[in-house]
């Protein structure tokens, strides 16, 4: 039978709580699909700073390189917030993305019919929203040169926004391929009226577009995109953009659907390798309480099954189970209208597991 090695990085805050449940779901997949997973645990982020003196230990990187995919909870927290850059949890996350060449970050945002009441926006605006933000993940402002120096007039800080043509080209191609498998509508988001890097971005997009004549392409400025996402999100299908714009727009898109606790992501390299993590962070405000929504992490595991392992049926089974559980009205606190009836992290996952078993019995 097929076997896969998964590096598991629980991280900080609610990371270990949601990861525990996603791993439980994966163990049920082993049983139902007759595949085998070996879970290799390692440290990333604040927990690694405390134990190993660095947010990205060499051992973690080596384990990740040897594995077929990585499952990550979240990193960060107030304890490390005043540390210098090299001792920040977030630096470990950026490091592992860069080291593993994970340049393509897929962040789907979707509205289930049973969830329309949870969004802050009107029902007619959000019903049927189904979009995919594709964020460039290893370039741009995050990775350009950082400088900090004193002048006569006080301190100065700068972050360089740099893109190479090849970095734009590979993410744009990936986006066209994804759009082709969805509704064949691609919006490329930039700030070409101001930024030189965006003008190069747009030039590369226009050069590649003729290779995908079946995909309808639109360029949009990031400020207008942010506005249109709230006004009428259903005009969007696949959106591709650079690192920082993608960070911001994907959090915005998550709110169309009600809670960031729902949304998964895949960070992909060339080939089948990927790192899978929820879009949300370590949520220090609710950590340790057993109330975090595990859905985003469980759906990230489903993306791993699909993109890295080719286990489409198992991925669908998890997604269908999540839909069924939400449909039946089970809710964690972040998505419950009646907070008294909210279930905890484990109970939510147990319901999803029960729904998966049911789906397999029927199939």
**What is the binding site for ligand NAD (CB under 6 A)?**
14, 18, 74-77, 90, 93, 260-261, 277, 280-286, 292-293, 296, 334
Task: Out of 190, 247, 334, 351, pick the active-site residue.
Answer: 247
**End-to-end C-alpha distance for the chain, whole angstroms:** 20
Number of residues forming the site for ligand IPM (CB under 6 A): 5
SS3 164: coil
Q: How far is the CB of 251 from Mn ion (least distance, A)?
A: 6
How many Å apart are CA 331 and CA 325, to the nearest integer?
A: 8
Stretch that binds ligand IPM, among 56-64, 88-96, 305-313, 315-323 (CB under 6 A): 88-96
Q: How far is the CB of 93 from ligand IPM (least distance, A)?
A: 5
Contacts of residue 21, Cβ cutoff 8 Å, sequence gap at least 6: 294, 297, 298, 345, 346, 348, 349
Contacts of residue 196, Cβ cutoff 8 Å, sequence gap at least 6: none
Residue 226 assigned as binding residue? no
Helix residue spans in the chain (DSSP H) = 15-33, 46-52, 58-66, 89-99, 123-126, 165-181, 196-208, 222-231, 243-256, 295-307, 312-327, 345-362
How many Å apart are CA 125 and CA 94, to the nearest integer?
A: 34
Q: How far is the CB of 226 from ligand IPM (least distance, A)?
A: 16
Q: Which residue is nearest to Mn ion (CB)?
A: 247
- Comparing C-alpha atoms, which of 104, 251, 266 is closest to residue 169? 104
Residue 237 annotated in active site:
no
Q: How far is the CB of 72 from ligand NAD (least distance, A)?
A: 7
Binding site for Mn ion (CB under 5 A): 247
Helix residue spans in 257-331 (DSSP H) = 295-307, 312-327
Residue 270 annotated in active site:
no
- Pair 198, 191: CB distance under 8 Å: yes
> What are the CA-CA distances from residue 333 to residues 83, 290, 345 (Å)?
32, 11, 10
Reading the block at residue 183, the tokens are 């509704």
Q: What are phi and psi of 236, to 5 degrees?
A: -100, 145
Residue 68 annotated in active site:
no
Task: Out of 52, 68, 159, 251, pick the active-site residue.
Answer: 251
Contacts of residue 348, Cβ cutoff 8 Å, sequence gap at least 6: 21, 293, 294, 295, 325, 330, 332
Residue 251 assigned as binding residue? yes
Q: How far is the CB of 280 from Mn ion (least distance, A)?
A: 8
Q: Is 44 in the site for ligand IPM (CB under 6 A)?
A: no
User: Which residue, 114 or 141, has its beta carbon nearer to ligand IPM?
Assistant: 141
Task: Out of 12, 63, 103, 142, pick the active-site residue.
Answer: 142
Q: Is 93 in the site for ligand IPM (CB under 6 A)?
A: yes
User: Which residue, 254 or 332, has its beta carbon nearer to Mn ion?
Assistant: 254
User: Which residue, 145 or 150, has its beta carbon nearer to ligand IPM?
Assistant: 145
Q: Is 14 in the site for ligand IPM (CB under 6 A)?
A: no
Q: Which residue is nearest to ligand IPM (CB)?
A: 90
Q: Which of 242, 247, 319, 334 binds ligand IPM (CB under 6 A)?
A: 247
Residue 113 annotated in active site:
no
User: Which residue, 14 or 25, has its beta carbon nearer to ligand NAD?
Assistant: 14
Q: How far is the CB of 3 from ligand NAD (least distance, A)?
A: 28
User: Which residue, 204 or 292, has its beta carbon nearer to ligand NAD?
Assistant: 292
Residue 82 assigned as binding residue? yes
Residue 251 annotated in active site:
yes
- Pair 105, 137: CB distance under 8 Å: yes
How many Å apart are CA 119 and CA 281, to the nearest integer?
A: 20
Residue 206 assigned as binding residue? no
Residues annotated as catalytic are 142, 191, 223, 247, 251
Q: What are the residues binding ligand IPM (CB under 6 A)?
A: 76, 90, 93-94, 247
The annotation places the binding site for substrate at 97, 107, 135, 223
């Amino acid at each position: 039978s097929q076997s896969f090695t998964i590096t598991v990085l629980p991280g900080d805050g609610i990371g270990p709580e949601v990861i525990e449940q996603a791993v439980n779901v994966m163990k049920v997949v082993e049983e139902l699909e007759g595949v085998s997973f070996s879970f290799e645990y390692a440290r990333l982020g604040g927990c690694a700073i405390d134990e190993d003196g660095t947010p990205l230990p060499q051992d973690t990187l080596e384990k990740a390189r040897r594995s077929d995919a990585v499952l990550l909870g979240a990193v960060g927290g107030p304890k490390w917030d005043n540390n210098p850059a090299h001792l920040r949890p977030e630096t470990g996350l950026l490091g592992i993305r860069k080291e593993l060449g994970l340049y393509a970050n897929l962040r789907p945002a979707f509205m289930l019919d049973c969830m329309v009441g949870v969004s802050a926006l009107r029902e007619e605006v959000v019903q049927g929203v189904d979009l995919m933000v594709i964020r460039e993940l290893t370039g741009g402002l995050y990775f350009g040169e950082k400088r900090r120096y004193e002048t006569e007039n006080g301190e100065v800080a700068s972050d360089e926004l740099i893109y190479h043509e090849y970095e734009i080209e590979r993410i744009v191609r990936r986006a066209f391929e994804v759009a082709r498998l969805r509704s064949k509508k691609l919006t490329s988001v930039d700030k070409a009226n101001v930024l030189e890097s965006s003008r190069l971005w747009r030039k590369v997009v226009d050069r590649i577009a003729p290779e995908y004549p079946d995909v309808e392409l639109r360029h949009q400025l990031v400020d207008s995109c942010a506005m249109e996402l709230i006004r009428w999100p259903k005009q969007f299908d696949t959106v591709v953009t650079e690192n920082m714009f993608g960070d911001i727009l994907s959090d915005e898109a998550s709110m169309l659907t009600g809670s960031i606790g729902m949304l998964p992501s895949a960070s992909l390299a060339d080939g089948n390798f990927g790192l899978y993590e929820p879009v949300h962070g370590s949520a220090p405000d609710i950590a340790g309480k057993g109330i975090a929504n595990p859905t985003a992490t469980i759906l990230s595991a489903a993306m791993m099954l699909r993109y890295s392992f080719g286990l489409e049926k198992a991925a669908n089974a998890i997604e269908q189970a999540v839909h069924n559980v939400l449909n039946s009205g089970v809710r964690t606190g972040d998505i419950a209208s009646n907070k008294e009836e909210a279930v905890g992290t484990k109970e939510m996952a147990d319901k999803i597991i029960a729904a998966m078993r049911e789906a397999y019995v029927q199939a």
